[in-house]
Structure 1
């Protein structure tokens, strides 16, 4: 997987040492939305145990360290639990920036069923051709095709790929709330919301994201309400704190 780089324009309140919001393009928003469709198990290996809040990581480690195949159902593959593939249908998640390493994706629209003509078996399809049919217990190795909506219904969106259109800029708040980029009057309202008294204390800064920042964003999104501040200000040598 080739790493891609994404840029953000941050509006920083130097006095309060926090990011107020970021101006982002389609590529960054596609990355954020892509996190929503990832199976939880796909990014567990990216996060160290001490970086996790709560006990969720213990579930992953239980499967990894304590449950051998002797305890699993015959049709359950331990590897598919620990490292699930991300299945993305064509025209939905393609061309999402590669900012998370070691997550295997599949853009295939292939599905599989068993070769039994039983009507009960017709109810079941699978992504994995080694899956077992719940009805007849045969391997689901016969390929079937997924029929998507005609691309002509939205040729502009399908040609761009990803999740959102690239014709506008987007505003990303410090807590990762996303909305179309505000007009000037809305921006002033936003500054008032953050009680910004001195415009001179504000600074615009363009930052680039690679895989390192992608992993940090993922981690911070699970722990913090000030994600952009936590990820980007320390790398600028700015000690952070947040006060409402």
Structure 2
């Protein structure tokens, strides 16, 4: 069999290690490597879960409970979704920077290009001015009820110009062990060495790394769990990796009565019924309606940069990702970042699912795909932006089509569905057999169970208490496999 890997692209970086303390001090890399680090900010969490899940190394898992959440989404039958399109959309969150990332030297995101489908019947009847398109070939046409399974092409090419995708190619960059990126300078290196307490440069040794896409994904996998990914890669590659997952829930002094409510409420609520073990106070599982499951599944569509920047103000608890975000924020436009549009794209990546859950707890809105982006200001100054030109071109090519809303009455999941949620965010359609199997597995007797009802009001998405609940859940899901315990322990204490 022919070797299919010999021509695969590789990126070379120089890593400088402290031979005495066996740690990486910094790496020296060009735009190709930095482009990949920066591209992570544009990727939805679900895309990153898929990307890391395909890596062969299984010694550890990044992203806490989100792996279980994504697998649950795959396993739930389509009959529980409002339409087959809804499940497809949730399983395949799209980044609006996808066409830019296709130009990266290493293809770490193996997501297939978007395919578009229209209704052949409507097109043949000349309904061009009111046609819909879908990204799922099982969609039902809103006009005639036919199947939207006819492929249709739109021009989706993006011109990134000369040099890198996000950063220029005029020089090299310094990347610290915890992924802070800065333009290369001797003065910068000296400051870094001094800060690390290194005075004797004879302790330093240069190691060259030639990385293909699989090795790059492995490095990123480490960076999503540990604070020193280069050191782990160089010195501890063959050792079992213990992620030291964080358990959250020690920052709130909220009164338990503010969350536990037995009475009926006039506002819209997400209600959780929590089962605890009386003897230990351990959270066993939760049951919830489709609204809570929709909120959880919707987390997978949020870009990492939105999580780190917009939602968590650069303090996501994943140090390497926080440092990448900080690096982009501090990097100047023109000489290093290619344009202000690029910087905005990285710091405030678009939430690519226009049709998201109405039960989201965060004040972020779905953004239309590039095919439907509103016509922007066409002043001469703005016309100089290549990003803007590409968007305008796509708008002209697709002005007669609009994306079909895959939801039913704005619902992604069918109403009246009940779901069983474990501590580590495994979600399944609720059943008595599943509950009994769980109790048997945990060796808990029926008379050792107590239940609490927790109600989260949705009348004001901007309400600080509600947003705080959602942020704590998301933060715990990123790093913990005890997500529900992490966010509810203060509200369930006796």
Residues 29-178 of structure 1: pairs in structure 2 closer than 5 A: 29-45=34-50, 46-47=52-53, 48=58, 50-65=60-75, 67-84=76-93, 88=97, 92-100=100-108, 103-106=110-113, 158-160=161-163, 162-178=165-181
Q: CA deviation at 1:14?
A: 1.0
Partner of 1:196: helix, strand, or coil? Answer: coil
160 and 188 in structure 1: CA distance in 2 versus 1, 3 angstrom threshold: closer
Q: CA deviation at 1:93?
A: 3.0
Higher relative contact order (CA 8 A, sep 6+): 1
Q: CA deviation at 1:145?
A: 6.2
Given that residues 11 and 19 in structure 1 are in contact (C-alpha distance below 8 angstroms), is that contact kept between their aligned partners in structure 2?
Answer: yes
Partner of 2:161: helix, strand, or coil? Answer: helix
1:23 aligns with 2:28: yes
Aligned counterpart, 2:369: none
Given that residues 32 and 164 in structure 2 are in contact (C-alpha distance below 8 angstroms), is that contact kept between their aligned partners in structure 1?
Answer: no
- CA-based RMSD of the aligned residues comes to 3.8
134 and 234 in structure 1: CA distance in 2 versus 1, 3 angstrom threshold: farther
1:188 aligns with 2:190: yes
Q: Give the Cα separation in 2 of the matches to 1:88 and 1:98.
A: 15
Q: Give the Cα separation in 2 of the matches to 1:200 and 1:161.
A: 34
The structure whose Rg is larger is: 2
Q: Give the Cα separation in 1 of the matches to 2:191 and 2:117.
A: 53
Q: CA deviation at 1:170?
A: 0.8
Runs of 5+ in structure 1 lacking a partner? 152-156, 238-244
After superposition, give the CA deviation of every residue in 1:56-89 in whole Å (9 maximum; x if it has no partner): 2121121122x10011121535344334455546
Partner of 1:42: helix, strand, or coil? Answer: helix
Partner of 1:76: helix, strand, or coil? Answer: helix
Given that residues 22 and 172 in structure 1 are in contact (C-alpha distance below 8 angstroms), is that contact kept between their aligned partners in structure 2?
Answer: yes
Given that residues 85 and 136 in structure 2 are in contact (C-alpha distance below 8 angstroms), is that contact kept between their aligned partners in structure 1?
Answer: no
135 and 33 in structure 1: CA distance in 2 versus 1, 3 angstrom threshold: farther
After superposition, give the CA deviation of every residue in 1:196-221 in whole Å (9 maximum; x if it has no partner): 13211111111111133112112112
After superposition, give the CA deviation of every residue in 1:91-150 in whole Å (9 maximum; x if it has no partner): x3342022536x2243x7x98899798x9x89x98666766789999969897968999x
148 and 57 in structure 1: CA distance in 2 versus 1, 3 angstrom threshold: closer
TM-score normalised according to structure 1 size: 0.71
49 and 79 in structure 1: CA distance in 2 versus 1, 3 angstrom threshold: farther
TM-score normalised according to structure 2 size: 0.38
How many aligned residue pairs are there?
223
Q: Give the Cα separation in 2 of the matches to 1:227 and 1:49.
A: 15
Given that residues 12 and 29 in structure 2 are in contact (C-alpha distance below 8 angstroms), is that contact kept between their aligned partners in structure 1?
Answer: yes
